[in-house]
Structures are given as structure tokens and as C-alpha cells.
């Protein structure tokens, strides 16, 4: 048995019950769901236009603050609840070519095709599997006691702070896999092709936010530039917080590569559950998190529309109680605090006590 909590028979029964939930939700998708994502896109674009407009009046402090806040929220919505979920194919069932995973390009440094490989495939297939899921540390952090400790890890608190502030660029470089290139496991040519695509996308984003819009403001160039910088920083810090709190708080499990060999459907579901953590909050909080505050439900059902996770969550929690499984949920303060403790503790050797033993 690769990892416990359930016997093989129980794991498959657990999986069948989750499949039933997924199939039920899939068949119930309709106009109300389509109206939700279309309305949200309109709201996001209105916030973007309004925020950028107010920044042109940034010499007035209230206008700068309001414009920066609106633009920050617009960027968060576009990245989290819209872009992330559209590119997960959650809305492909609508057959709307403008809201489709094959066509969406989001407002961030990472090209969508690279993100869909590193995230949709690698991360969601091998969630929290050390050496296979690059989200376990993003190539620079030791986030699992299964990762070997090296003196480099002593600087982890600094690397973590830099990653949080520059998160969109950390995500952009994610799929390049520099360490595999240095180990000779990936060709420099392939890495360079990816870097060129990242450079083009980053160049367009930089031109838009830090050159074009500030120039359009004329004498108020610096007000618009600083507002755009602040909005991108807010978006980066928020995305980092939600994503790390969905995978690394106290109680989250990581797995060795050998433990998932020949993994069945039921045990894949079980691993998604054990490697994911929810964050409690209200409806607005869930929307701003891209509903990744329902990280457990997202990992179980990554292609179901995110607006359905709130109604699915109580059913998943009841199913966990039925099978005697942990359902990791807590306040943002609890999840963030224990995540930062993991970052700090794993900067030093050891740390096995951070993860619960598989029962």
C-alpha cells in the first residue's frame, strides 16, 4: 500500500462517491453559471478601466488610493477567479470562444501555454509529490521534510519574501526548470525557447503598465507608474498568500515519488485531499481568492466551475467524516501562520514533525 488512511477497497469506494458528486454537478451546469462568469468579467473590466482612469487624477491622494485599490482588485479577479479558472477548462462547456481555455491569455508575466503545462498537468497530476510537483518549493524553497536540506536553505526566509513580492515572475519561470537544465536532464535549447516566450510576454506587460499608461498621463506619469507598481505588488502578495495557504499549512501532506506509482483513481482523490487545505471566509473572500480558498474541492474537481465549490464543500466534508479522513480548513490567520512557520522551520535541517503521519 503506497500510503494509508484507507484500505484499497475503501479508497475506491471514496473515489466513486466523489465521481458521483462530480457527475451530478456537471449535468446541472447551465445559464446561471454562464451568467456568473460573464458578469464577473464585466465587473473586472469595469474596475480595470475605472482604476486606470482614477490614476490619471493621482495628484489627488483620494483618487490615487481609489484608483490603485480598484486596479488591484481588477488584477486579482482577472488572475484568480477568471484567468486561472478559465484556463482550467472550467468554462469550456459554454462553447464560447472568448471564454475558452484554448484562447485565454491572462494579465500576468507567465505565458498561458507554459502555465497550463506546469500547473494544470504537472501540479494537478502530481500534487505535493516531491520531485514531480514543482509547486513544492518553486525550485528555491524547501517546503517538505522529504526534500534534502542544503546550506542554501538557510536563506529561505529571504527567498520566500522575494518570491511573494515577485510572484508573477516566479510563476513565469516555473516551467523552465533551471535545475533540470543544470543537471543535464533538459536541453538548454528547450529552456531558451521558453525564456524567449516569457521575455515577450513580460515585455508586453511591462510596456503596458510601466510605459504606455504612465506616458498617457503626461505630467502625472509618476502617479500612474506608482499606482500600477502598487497594484501588481498587491496582486502578487495576495496570489502568493492564497496559493501557499492552500498547500502548506499545518496538517498538509507531501508525498514521495515512489508512493504514487500505479496510483488508482481512488488514491489519486485521497492524495488531492491530503495535500490541500481550505481557508474559511465569506463569499467576497472566496471570489477574490479565485475560490482557491476551497483548495480541497479545486484539487478534487479542477475542471468544475469555481462558483460551485461552496455548495460542494459541505458534501465533501461530510464524506471525509464518513471515511474518517482529515478535512484541513481554518482561518486565513491560522493557515498563513502555520505556512510561514513551515518556511522558517524547513530552512533548518530536519522538520519531519511538521507533517502528520499517515494513519
Is residue 58 in a domain?
yes
pTM for this predicted structure: 0.94
Is residue 109 in a domain?
yes
Q: Which residues contact 254 (CB under 8 A, 6 or more apart)?
A: 128, 129, 130, 136, 143, 144, 145, 146, 275, 355
Q: Can you give the pLDDT at residue 262?
A: 87
Is the pLDDT at 342 greater than 70? The verdict is: yes
Is residue 3 in a domain?
no
Whole-number percent of the chain with pLDDT over 70? 98
What value does the mean pLDDT of the chain take? 94
Sign of CA dihedral 120, 125, 127, 132: negative
State pLDDT tens for residues 6-57.
999 999 999 999 999 999 999 999 999 999 999 999 999 999 999 999 999 9
Q: Can you give the pLDDT at residue 179?
A: 81
Q: Can you give the pLDDT at residue 185?
A: 85
d(CA 172, CA 194): 10
User: Among 279, 340, 344, which residue's Cα sits nearest to residue 309?
Assistant: 279
Q: Can you give the pLDDT at residue 32?
A: 97
Domain that holds residue 310: 8-354
Number of domains into which the chain is organized: 1
Is residue 185 in a domain?
yes
State pLDDT tens for residues 93-134.
999 999 999 999 999 999 999 999 999 999 999 999 998 998
Q: Can you give the pLDDT at residue 1?
A: 41
Is residue 92 in a domain?
yes
pLDDT band per the 50, 70, 90 thresholds, residue 359 = low
Q: Which residues contact 135 (CB under 8 A, 6 or more apart)?
A: 119, 123, 127, 128, 174, 243, 247
Least confident of 27-41, 108-122, 151-165, 293-307: 108-122
Q: Can you give the pLDDT at residue 2?
A: 52
For residue 149, give the DSSP letter: P
Q: Can you give the pLDDT at residue 357?
A: 77
Is the pLDDT at 78 greater than 90? The verdict is: yes
Is residue 98 in a domain?
yes
Is residue 359 in a domain?
no
d(CA 68, CA 26): 38
Average pLDDT, integer, range 318-347: 97
Is the pLDDT at 310 greater than 70? The verdict is: yes
For residue 151, give the DSSP letter: G
Q: Can you give the pLDDT at residue 201?
A: 94
Element containing residue 355 per DSSP (H, E): none
Q: Can you give the pLDDT at residue 261?
A: 85
State pLDDT tens for residues 219-249.
999 999 999 999 999 999 999 999 999 999 9
| Contact between residue 247 and residue 295 where contact means Cβ atoms under 8 Å apart | yes
Amino acid at each position: 500500500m503506497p500510503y494509508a488512511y484507507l484500505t484499497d477497497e475503501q479508497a475506491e469506494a471514496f473515489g466513486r462517491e466523489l465521481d458521483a458528486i462530480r457527475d451530478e454537478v456537471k449535468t446541472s451546469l447551465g445559464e446561471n453559471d454562464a451568467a456568473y462568469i460573464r458578469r464577473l468579467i464585466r465587473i473586472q473590466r469595469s474596475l480595470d478601466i475605472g482604476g486606470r482612469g482614477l490614476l490619471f487624477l493621482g495628484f489627488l491622494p483620494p483618487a490615487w488610493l481609489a484608483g490603485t485599490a480598484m486596479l488591484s482588485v481588477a488584477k486579482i479577479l482577472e488572475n484568480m477567479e477568471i484567468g486561472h479558472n478559465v484556463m482550467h477548462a472550467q468554462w469550456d462547456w459554454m462553447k464560447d470562444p472568448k471564454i475558452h481555455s484554448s484562447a485565454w491569455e491572462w494579465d500576468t508575466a507567465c505565458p498561458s501555454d507554459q502555465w497550463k503545462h506546469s500547473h494544470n498537468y504537472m501540479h494537478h497530476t502530481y500534487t505535493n509529490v516531491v520531485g514531480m510537483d514543482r509547486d513544492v518549493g518553486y525550485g528555491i524553497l524547501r517546503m517538505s521534510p522529504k526534500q534534502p536540506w542544503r546550506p542554501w536553505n538557510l536563506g529561505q526566509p529571504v527567498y520566500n519574501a522575494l518570491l511573494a513580492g515577485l510572484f508573477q515572475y516566479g510563476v513565469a519561470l516555473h516551467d523552465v526548470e533551471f535545475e533540470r537544465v543544470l543537471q543535464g536532464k533538459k536541453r538548454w535549447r528547450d529552456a531558451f525557447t521558453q525564456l524567449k516566450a516569457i521575455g515577450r510576454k513580460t515585455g508586453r506587460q511591462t510596456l503596458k503598465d510601466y510605459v504606455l499608461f504612465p506616458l498617457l498621463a503626461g505630467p502625472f506619469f509618476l502617479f500612474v507608474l506608482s499606482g500600477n507598481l502598487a497594484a501588481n505588488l498587491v496582486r502578487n502578495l495576495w496570489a502568493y498568500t492564497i496559493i501557499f495557504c492552500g498547500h502548506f499549512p499545518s496538517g498538509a501532506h507531501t508525498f514521495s515519488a515512489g508512493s504514487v506509482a500505479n496510483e488508482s483513481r481512488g488514491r489519486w482523490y485521497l492524495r488531492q485531499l491530503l495535500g490541500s487545505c481550505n481557508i474559511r471566509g465569506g463569499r467576497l473572500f472566496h471570489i477574490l481568492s479565485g475560490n482557491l480558498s476551497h483548495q480541497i474541492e479545486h484539487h478534487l474537481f479542477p475542471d468544475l466551475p469555481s462558483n460551485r465549490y461552496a455548495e460542494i464543500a459541505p458534501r465533501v466534508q461530510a464524506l471525509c467524516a464518513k471515511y474518517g479522513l482529515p478535512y484541513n480548513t481554518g482561518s486565513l490567520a491560522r493557515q498563513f501562520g502555520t505556512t510561514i512557520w513551515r518556511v522558517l522551520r524547513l530552512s533548518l535541517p530536519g522538520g519531519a514533525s511538521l507533517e502528520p503521519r499517515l494513519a
